[in-house]
Amino acid sequence: MPPLVEYARAKINLHLHVVGRRGDGYHLLDSLVAFAAIGDELSVSPASRLTLTVKGPFASSLESEADNLVLRAARALAARAGIEPLGALVLEKNLPVASGIGGGSADAAAALRLLGRFWNLDPGLQAGLADGLGADVPVCLAGRPATMSGIGDILAPAPQLPELGIVLVNPGVAVSTPDVFRARAGPFSAPARFPDQGWADAESCAAALRAAGNDLEAPARRLAPAIGDVLGVLSDTRGCLLVRMSGSGATCFGLFADPEAARFAAGTIIRDGWWVWGGSLETA
Element (H, E) at 16: strand 4-21
Over residues 73-109, the pLDDT tens digits come to 999 999 999 999 999 999 999 999 889 998 899 999 9
**What's the pLDDT at 1?**
74
CA dist list (Å): 177 to 114, 190, 198, 220, 270: 27, 21, 30, 9, 27
Which residue out of 11, 40, 93, 215 is catalytically annotated? 11
Q: Which of 27-36, 173-182, 216-225 has the lowest mean pLDDT?
A: 173-182
b/e burial code for range 9-43 (CB count within 10 A of at least 16 → b): bbbbbbbbbbbeeeeeeebbbbbbbbbbebbbbbb
Is 11 a catalytic site residue? yes
In contact, 279 and 169? CB cutoff 8 Å: no
93 is catalytic: no
The single residue of 30, 40, 107, 136 carrying the catalytic annotation is 136
**DSSP conformation class of 70:** H
Residue 116 pLDDT > 80: yes
Residue ranges of domains in the chain, CATH in brackets: 4-155 (3.30.230.10), 159-282 (3.30.70.890)
pLDDT tens for 119-170 read 999 988 888 898 889 889 999 999 999 999 999 999 999 999 999 999 999 9
The confidence band for 64, taking pLDDT boundaries of 50, 70 and 90, is: low
Q: In this structure, how many other beta carbons lie within 10 angstroms of the beta carbon of residue 203? A: 14
Confidence of residue 67 (pLDDT cuts 50, 70, 90): low
d(CA 54, CA 47): 16
What would the pLDDT profile of 236-250 be if each residue is shown by its tens digit?
999 999 999 999 999
Phi-psi region of 188 (alpha: psi -120 to 50; beta: other; left: phi over 0): beta
